[in-house]
């Protein structure tokens, strides 16, 4: 009779062989590397079925669309669109973070597979990256009369969309300063943020590289829409000194807001939309647009390459560029409204909001506002890596 050991012997060998084989072939398969994510427009053509299918799948960020005060299941401006056009809209609030969303869809889009969304809303830099990858459909200007007529001039001709026919701003915002007047005296410049001793350890900056570096560049007198490597490096070195000195407490996303409200943070780089909401809770929390300049960013409506209802999406985009609709939306979301003429409409809805420069900025403010320059992939990696090193990751 064979011993248990000898009985197990050959099986073990087989099993080990099997595993080695699987691992080996998997490594070889994976060993081919990864194909580039960039799509040739010719390779991925999607048929538009809007004529036969009156539907639209629209993915947006949470709390970025007006809700009926009496009935939270109703979305008045969207319901109007559905009533007017007969297009059934599936509205999903499933975009919480640009990076996260990118990770979620990148493999499908790189392979020219559908992502079950016809319209998405992404911030400038990610919109630029995805446009660069060839993942976004061109829109037909002829079908967007309201957009052509009403888009704020500062938002036309952006570097990633020079012809203005691929990314349409949904809402815009400013990156500037904010401080809590209960725990510190007024803060007016980025320079104060980086150097004032009484703010040491009570300052946060934004982990979004474009916002933080854009404001630092402006503070140094440079143009974030057009700067050199040396200028960037000098600004980053200044940031690094402030971090090393313990002046900077953290780099944050939206999560600076509760800390600023509590007073754990005395001053920070902040987004205008958050600042309006914070000021509504405590008027001593103030947003400051520094004299040296602010950064203008937008969240853009985009039609993914594999979306099958582009024409329906275009109708929705144009709907929101009707000043009356835009004013109703702006009254709810408190970001900068990219639609000209909405301010006049707003005066009828809520004159106080119409006067708010963080929703309808005056020309003086808009003239200080810059959009961060579009980076090619090489620059993006270089700047992002350098920046991430400084912010600790």
Partner 1 sequence: MTDRSAPSPASHRTPAARPAASVPGGGPGRRRVLPYLLVLPGVAWLVLFFGLPLVQLAAASLYDPTGSLSTGYVFAWAFGNYPDALATYWPHLARSFGYAGLALLLALALGCPLAYAIALRAGRWRNLLLVCVVAPMFTSFLVRTLAWKTILSDQGWLVGLLRDVHLLAPDGRLLATPFAVVLGLTYNFLPLLVLPLYASLERLDRRVLEAATDLYADPLRTFLTVTLPLAKPGLVAGVLLFFIPASGDYINAELLGSPNEYMVGNVIDSAFLVRLDHPQGAALSFLLMAAVLGLVVTLLRHTRGEGSPALDGGAR
Residues that bind partner 1 (CB under 8 A): 1, 7, 11, 22-23, 26-27, 30-38, 99-100, 102-103, 106, 132-133, 183, 200-202, 243, 246, 248-251, 255, 259, 262-264, 377, 381, 384-385, 388-393
| Cβ distance to partner 1 smaller for residue 67 or 112 | 112
Q: Is 353 helix (H, G, I), strand (E, B) or coil?
A: helix
279 Cβ contact list (under 8 Å, min separation 6) = 285, 286, 287
DSSP codes, 229-262: HHHHHHHHHHHHHHHHTT-EEEEESTTHHHHHHH
| Cβ distance to partner 1 smaller for residue 12 or 138 | 12
Minimum distance of partner 1 from residue 201's CB (angstroms): 6
Minimum distance of partner 1 from residue 26's CB (angstroms): 4
Minimum distance of partner 1 from residue 129's CB (angstroms): 8
Minimum distance of partner 1 from residue 237's CB (angstroms): 16
Q: What are phi and psi of 263, to 5 degrees?
A: 100, 0
| Cβ distance to partner 1 smaller for residue 24 or 145 | 24
Give the closest residue to 155 by CA, choosing from 376, 321, 276: 321
Query: What angle separates helix 124-132 from helix 98-110, to the nearest 10 degrees?
Result: 10
| Residue 44 backbone class (left: φ over 0; alpha: ψ -120 to 50; beta: rest) | beta
Rounded Cα–Cα distance for residues 178 and 53 (Å): 47
| Cβ distance to partner 1 smaller for residue 25 or 157 | 25
| Cβ distance to partner 1 smaller for residue 21 or 162 | 21
Minimum distance of partner 1 from residue 99's CB (angstroms): 4
| Cβ distance to partner 1 smaller for residue 126 or 365 | 126
| Cβ distance to partner 1 smaller for residue 114 or 132 | 132
Q: Is the dihedral of CA 22, 24, 25, 27 positive or negative?
A: positive
Check if the beta carbon of residue 118 is closer than 8 Å to that of residue 305: no
Minimum distance of partner 1 from residue 212's CB (angstroms): 12
- Burial of residue 357 (CB within 10 Å: 0-12, 13-18, 19+) is middle
Residue 73: other Cβ atoms inside 10 A:
6
Minimum distance of partner 1 from residue 235's CB (angstroms): 17
């Amino acid at each position: 009779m064979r011993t248990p050991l000898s009985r197990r012997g050959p099986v073990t060998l087989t099993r080990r062989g099997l595993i080695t084989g699987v691992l080996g072939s998997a490594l070889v398969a994976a060993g081919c590397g990864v194909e580039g994510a960039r799509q040739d427009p010719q390779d991925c053509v999607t048929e538009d079925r809007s004529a036969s299918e009156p539907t639209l799948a629209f993915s947006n960020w949470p709390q970025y669309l007006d809700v009926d005060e009496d009935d939270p299941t109703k979305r008045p401006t969207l319901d109007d669109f559905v009533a007017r056009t007969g297009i059934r809209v599936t509205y999903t609030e499933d975009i919480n973070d640009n990076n996260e969303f990118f990770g979620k869809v990148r493999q499908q889009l790189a392979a020219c597979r559908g992502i079950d969304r016809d319209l998405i809303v992404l911030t400038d830099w990610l919109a630029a990256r995805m446009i660069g990858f060839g993942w976004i459909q061109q829109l037909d200007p002829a079908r967007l009369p309201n957009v052509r007529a009403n888009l704020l001039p500062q938002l036309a001709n952006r570097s990633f969309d020079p012809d203005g026919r691929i990314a349409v701003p949904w809402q815009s915002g400013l990156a500037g300063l904010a401080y809590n007047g209960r725990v510190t005296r007024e803060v007016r410049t980025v320079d104060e943020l980086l150097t004032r001793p009484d703010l040491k350890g009570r300052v946060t900056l934004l982990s979004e590289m474009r916002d933080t570096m854009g404001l630092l560049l402006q503070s140094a007198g440079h143009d974030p829409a057009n700067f050199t490597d040396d200028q960037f490096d000098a600004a980053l070195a200044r940031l690094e000194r402030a971090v090393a000195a313990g002046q900077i407490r953290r780099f944050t996303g939206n999560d600076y807001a509760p800390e600023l409200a509590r007073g754990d943070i005395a001053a920070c780089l902040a987004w205008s939309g958050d600042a309006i909401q914070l000021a509504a809770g405590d008027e001593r929390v103030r947003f400051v647009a520094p004299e040296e300049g602010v950064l203008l960013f937008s969240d853009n409506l985009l039609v993914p390459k594999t979306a099958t209802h582009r024409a329906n999406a275009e109708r929705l985009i144009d709907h929101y560029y009707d000043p009356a609709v835009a004013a109703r939306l702006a009254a709810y979301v408190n970001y900068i409204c990219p639609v000209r003429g909405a301010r006049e409409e707003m005066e009828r809805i809520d004159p106080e909001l119409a006067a708010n420069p963080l929703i309808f900025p005056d020309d003086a403010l808009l003239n200080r506002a810059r959009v961060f320059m579009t980076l090619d992939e090489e620059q993006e990696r270089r700047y992002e890596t350098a920046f991430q090193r400084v912010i600790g990751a």
